[in-house]
Structure 1
Amino acid sequence: FSHRWFNNAEPTFQDMVKGENLEGAAYEKLLGFCAKAEWHGCLLGWSDTCCIDKTSSAELQEAIRSMFNWYRNADICIVHWSDSDKGGDIATDRWFTRGWTLQELLAPTRMKFYDKCWQDFTAAPNDKDHAPMKDALCRATGIPRRDLEHFVPTTARVQEKMYWASKRRTTKIEDAAYSLMGIFDVSIPVVYGEGHLAFHRL
């Protein structure tokens, strides 16, 4: 699942275990994702909000380092554009301004995009194969079509990738660096509290 977080209202791992905080717009969004995942034939779904125990530093470290590959190996990545209507200008959606969604766009081999009411934008089984959608994504991100179709993570083209990331923001300073590990195919220790040093280490 790829989406923009709704402030601090997202259901957490602990909420799901305890059966708490299971209401509101963020929870409805999660239910919408589960419904679409089931419709696409998925037996399991994964969301970064509630499938990572963020109170466990070891689990959080593993998740952050593995996330690019999880998205790459997923059968499908379901994307929710919470600011967009079908037929509208997707480039104005705040999903395109968030740091973590860059790798969530580049890593998957199969994607489906949905608007705020869970209407699909195309009838294609894979929106990465849909030419008009690819053109719209290129315009919204400045990312070349070849990278949208099949992105290869390497340490090459550093300046270009940094330019893609420069248009995006993360809630935590360190995530500006950590969200790029998979894109560059590198691994660094995750140390929240180090601030801008994380980017220098990257």
Structure 2
Amino acid sequence: MSVVINRLKYAILSHRWGKSEPTFQNLKPEGEGYKKLKEFCVRAKEYGCRLAWSDTCCINKESSSELDEAIRSMFTWYREAYICIVHLAQTNSLETLEKDEWFLRGWTLQELLAPLRMRFYYGPTWTPLTQNPNDKDDAKVVQALRRTTKIPGNDLRNFQPGPNRAWEKMSWAASRKTTRIEDVAYSLTGIFDITMTVAYGEGDRAFKTIHGRAY
């Protein structure tokens, strides 16, 4: 991975999943999900990236070992991306960020914190939210993100993972939801910089494990 990072810039996508997302097994050029993927690749190219990574089609979720590796590595992948491109589907302004479901999901918390460079786009036309090449350098964007997430500006700009400030970090995730109950815990491992066994089916025991280790 380090060889690729040093030689090739890659963009990474953060988004809410729809009903017709392309997958590792089925990358058919049809449906809204494929259109979103295509637009993401266009934006990645504008940043000079020769590689683009999207979770729906770059992870073979039928392989338990690959899924385990992906979950353990997710924070690092987002941190080391040249640019994280965020697509918002339910808002079109800084004043209404809280209305977008992107800010209510579990996995998007680390996708917000990990990258050092982000760009927000919205709607079917992928309109940029600002004209800045990096929205994390925009004081107005950071202020709007602080209002929406209650996360301090320094953490939004340059978050450092670790087990410290556990109560505060837990509060950032408290109102967020995940499709599977285990992901409540798995989506926090990168934020706390801990390793745990990925075992879907263990239910809320996963959260009890991270709860004990974080504190």
Task: State TM-score, norm by structure 1.
Answer: 0.95
The Cα offsets for residues 2-59 of structure 1, whole Å up to 9 and x where unpaired, read as: 001114x21110012xxx3x32212111111111111111100000100000011111
Does 2:181 align with 1:173? yes
Residue 143 of structure 1 aligns with which residue? 151
* Count of aligned pairs: 197
Note the alpha carbon deviations across 1:118-163, whole angstroms, 9 max, x for none: 1111111110000000000000100000100110001011111111
Query: Whole-Å Cα distance in 1 between the matches of residues 31 and 96 of structure 2?
Result: 26
2:121 is matched with 114
Matching residue within 27, 39, 49 for 2:34: 27
Q: Could you tell me how far apart the structure 1 residues matched to 2:100 and 2:118 are?
A: 17
Contact 1:76 1:110 in 2 (8 A): yes
More strand by share: 2
State whether residues 79 and 112 of structure 1, in contact with CA within 8 Å, keep that contact through their aligned partners in structure 2: yes
1:14 and 2:35 aligned: no
5+ residue gaps in structure 1?
none
1: CA distance, partners of 2:23 / 2:131: 32
Match of 1:42? 49
User: Cα RMSD over matched residues?
Assistant: 1.1
Q: Structure 2 CA distance, aligned partners of 1:198 and 1:87? A: 35
Q: Which amino acid aligns with 1:23?
A: E
Tell me the residue number matched to 1:128.
136
Residue type of the alignment partner of 2:188: L
Secondary structure of 1:70's match?
helix
Say if 1:99 and 1:168, in contact at 8 Å, map to a contact too.
Answer: yes
**How big is each residue's C-alpha offset from its partner over 1:96-121, in whole Å with a ceiling of 9 and x where there is no partner?**
00100000000000000001131111
| Identical pairs, percent | 56
Code of the residue aligned with 1:4 in structure 2: it is R
Query: Match of 2:200?
Result: 192
Contact 1:68–1:183 (CA<8 Å) still a contact in 2? Answer: yes
C-alpha distance in 2 between matches for 1:23 and 1:99: 28
Asked whether the 8 Å contact 1:86–1:120 carries over to 2, the reply is no
TM normalised by structure 2 equals: 0.89
The aligned counterpart of 2:82 is: 75
Tell me which amino acid in the other structure corresponds to 2:136: K
SS at match of 2:120: strand
2:65 matches 1:58: yes
CA distance in 2, matches of 1:87, 1:132: 8
**Cα 1:150/1:10, change in 2 over 3 Å:** same
Give the superposition deviation at 1:87.
Answer: 6.0
CA positional deviation for 1:86: 4.3
| Runs (5+) with no aligned partner, structure 2 | 1-12, 211-215
